[in-house]
């Protein structure tokens, strides 16, 4: 079997996604097609990852399209789409890695793995001061509780 380099793999992935996204088969990806394609990617990631990534909204997709639409046609041809995919997976030297999906996933995982347990420990220390029984509450339950509170707070903030 021929071993493909990372960029060759990404090019293959981009080719496959391109034909999947190009719903009207006109050989270009417009804003609507790009949005549908990205929602599918995020849906797949959210199903297989222990964290939730916020899928891009309409404005983010418009920005993305403008950024990679090198010739200003209002849609992406395959080469433009390929550049876009390379950025999304963190392979594009011209784009910031922090904007890529792996960076986002790592960021969210780090948040889940570090921030929530830390908050849970702080909460437990606080509860123990107020009420000794908190000592018996398992840390896992507190992490779960803190994460739940965080989600509720985030939903409220977004409104
Ligand atoms: Ca199209």
Task: Quote the ligand 1 centre to 79 CA distance (angstroms).
Answer: 14
Q: Tell me, in angstroms, the distance from the centre of ligand 1 to residue 98's CA.
A: 29
Per-residue pLDDT, averaged over 11-36, amounts to 92
Distance from the alpha carbon of residue 20 to the mean position of ligand 1, in angstroms: 10
CA–centroid distance, residue 65 to ligand 1 (Å) = 13
DSSP per residue over the chain, as a string?
Answer: -PPPPHHHHHHHHHHHHHHHH-TT-SSSB-HHHHHHHHHHHHHHHHHHSSS------HHHHHHHHHHH-TT-SSSB-HHHHHHHHHHHTT--TTS-GGGSHHHHHHHHHHIIIIIHHHHHHHHHHHHHHH-GGGGGS-HHHHHHHHHHHHHHHHHHHH-
Cα(26) to ligand 1 centroid in Å equals: 5
pLDDT in tens, 43-99: 888 888 877 888 889 999 999 899 999 999 999 999 999 998 888 777 777 777 777
Banded pLDDT at 132 (limits 50, 70, 90): low
pLDDT at 18: 92
Residue 123 alpha carbon to ligand 1 centre in Å? 51
Residue 131: what pLDDT? 66
86 Cα–ligand 1 center, Å = 20
């Amino acid at each position: 079997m021929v071993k493909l380099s990372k960029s060759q793999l990404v090019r293959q992935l981009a080719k496959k996604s391109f034909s999947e996204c190009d719903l009207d088969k006109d050989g270009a990806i417009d804003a609507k097609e790009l949005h549908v394609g990205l929602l599918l990617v995020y849906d797949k990631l959210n199903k297989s990852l222990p964290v939730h990534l916020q899928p891009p909204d309409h404005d983010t997709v418009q920005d993305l399209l403008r950024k990679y639409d090198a010739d200003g046609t209002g849609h992406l041809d395959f080469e433009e789409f390929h550049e876009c995919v390379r950025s999304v997976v963190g392979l594009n030297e011209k784009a910031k890695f922090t904007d890529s999906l792996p960076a986002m996933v790592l960021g969210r995982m780090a948040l889940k793995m570090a921030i929530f347990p830390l908050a849970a420990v702080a909460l437990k220390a606080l509860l123990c001061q107020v009420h000794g029984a908190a000592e018996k509450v398992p840390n896992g339950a507190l992490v779960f509780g803190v994460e739940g509170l965080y989600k509720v707070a985030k939903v409220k903030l977004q409104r």
